[in-house]
């Protein structure tokens, strides 16, 4: 098992497989998009497989595929099948915007994908279009239903809450989640990329405490619940409700003390922390014939470099990469 300097066990690797996306969500990517990397700059699937095999031998057990939007990369089902059969890997999951999920839900489940998290920030079609710029709400809702039918459950919905854009829907989203069997996660908006350059961003943050208070005022007291694999979310449910409501409070009440993850970007950089610019180059050694032991040494170095926590409170923001280039 990998343990960092602060005695956190690291068993989770998030892998961005592409920087490309079929949406332009306002909190993730500029409307004009970002300069995309050349195909040669992106890790090949066999390179990702080598990294995961080395990581599994060190004790990493959970893989999450992200993007950009992972379903826009050709061959993603084959990658899932490969990763799901690596000894030691206990869970392969994915975060998606849901636009292509109807097409891929069954093949992904058959390949060994266990669960999906779907991004859904509003239940209003016109607002959905405004937030995602290119998206269609009905398409995503159909994808969610397809994921349920394929057994990609428990299905989690990720909602980034931004003041003045969708914070008036938190109660409606909670109601819809309970009625639909979704496990809902409200996420505080985080300044990454262009957003980090605007120091007015704090005014747009709706804290987890405020979101929870609004829900409790409308629906009643939330009770804490322990959920295996809940990640950074503090998880609750309404008495008698079959689903959960979680709060990811990266800004107002960070969860760095229990962080168990590393990130691998699509261009082959290991990031010890989402909200830090620290990176280790893995692509170059991979293409220079690095052995499994060499890869493991780099993974161990990334674990050693994990900071105790982020420094948003000190106005230390992530710049140089958009969220789509990190993988969230």
How many C-beta atoms lie closer than 10 Å to residue 164's C-beta? 9
pLDDT at position 192: 64
What is the residue range of 118's domain? 2-325
Distance CA 162, CA 312 (A): 17
Burial-class residue 186 by CB neighbours within 10 Å (0-12, 13-18, 19+): buried
| Higher pLDDT pick, 28 / 150 | 150
Whether residue 276 is predicted with pLDDT greater than 90 in this model: the reply is: no
Residue 310 banded pLDDT, cuts 50, 70, 90: low
Residue with tokens 């592409």: 18
Tokens (6 digits) for 318: 């992530």
- In sequence order, the β-bridge partners of residue 109 are none
Distance CA 212, CA 161 (A): 12
Residue with tokens 């989690």: 156
pLDDT at position 88: 97
Residue 250 banded pLDDT, cuts 50, 70, 90: confident
Distance CA 110, CA 97 (A): 20
Question: What CATH number does residue 47 fall under?
Answer: 3.20.20.70
- In sequence order, the β-bridge partners of residue 223 are 237
Whether residue 195 is predicted with pLDDT greater than 60 in this model: the reply is: no
pLDDT at position 292: 97
- In sequence order, the β-bridge partners of residue 3 are 9
Measuring CA to CA, which residue among 104, 226, 232 is closest to residue 158?
Answer: 232
Tokens (6 digits) for 212: 């929870």
Give a three-class secondary structure readout of 230-260. Answer: CCCCEEEECCCCCCCEEEECCCCCCCHHHCC
- Residue 178 has phi, psi (to 5 degrees) of -65, -35
Q: For the chain, how many structural domains are there in total?
A: 1
Look up the pTM and report it.
0.92
């Amino acid at each position: 098992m990998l343990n960092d300097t602060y005695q956190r066990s690291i068993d989770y690797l998030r892998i961005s497989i592409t920087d490309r996306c079929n949406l332009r969500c306002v909190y993730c990517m500029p409307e004009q998009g970002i300069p995309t990397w050349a195909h040669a700059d992106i890790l090949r699937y066999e390179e990702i497989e080598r990294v995961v095999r080395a990581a599994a031998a060190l004790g990493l057990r959970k893989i999450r595929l992200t993007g950009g939007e992972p379903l826009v990369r050709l061959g993603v089902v084959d990658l899932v099948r490969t990763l799901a059969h690596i000894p030691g890997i206990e869970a392969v999951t994915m975060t998606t915007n849901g636009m292509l999920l109807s097409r891929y839900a069954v093949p992904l489940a058959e390949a060994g994908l266990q669960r999906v998290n779907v991004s859904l920030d509003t239940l209003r079609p016109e607002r959905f279009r405004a937030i995602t710029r290119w998206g269609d709400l009905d398409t995503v809702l159909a994808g969610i239903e397809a994921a349920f039918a394929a057994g990609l459950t428990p299905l989690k919905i990720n909602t980034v809450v931004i003041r003045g854009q969708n914070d008036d829907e938190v109660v409606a989203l909670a109601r819809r989640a309970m009625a639909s069997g979704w496990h809902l996660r409200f996420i505080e908006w985080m300044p990454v990329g262009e957003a980090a350059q605007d120091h007015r961003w704090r005014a747009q943050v709706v804290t987890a405490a405020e979101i929870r208070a609004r829900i409790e005022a409308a629906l009643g007291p939330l009770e804490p619940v322990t959920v295996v694999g809940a990640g950074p979310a503090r998880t609750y449910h309404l008495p008698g409700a079959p689903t959960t409501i979680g709060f990811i409070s990266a800004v107002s009440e960070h969860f760095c003390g229990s962080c168990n993850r590393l990130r691998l970007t699509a261009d082959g950089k290991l990031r010890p922390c989402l909200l830090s610019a620290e990176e280790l180059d893995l692509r170059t050694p991979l293409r220079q014939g690095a052995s499994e032991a060499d890869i493991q040494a780099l993974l161990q170095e990334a674990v050693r470099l994990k900071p105790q926590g982020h420094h948003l409170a000190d106005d230390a923001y992530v710049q140089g990469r958009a969220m789509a280039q990190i993988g969230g």
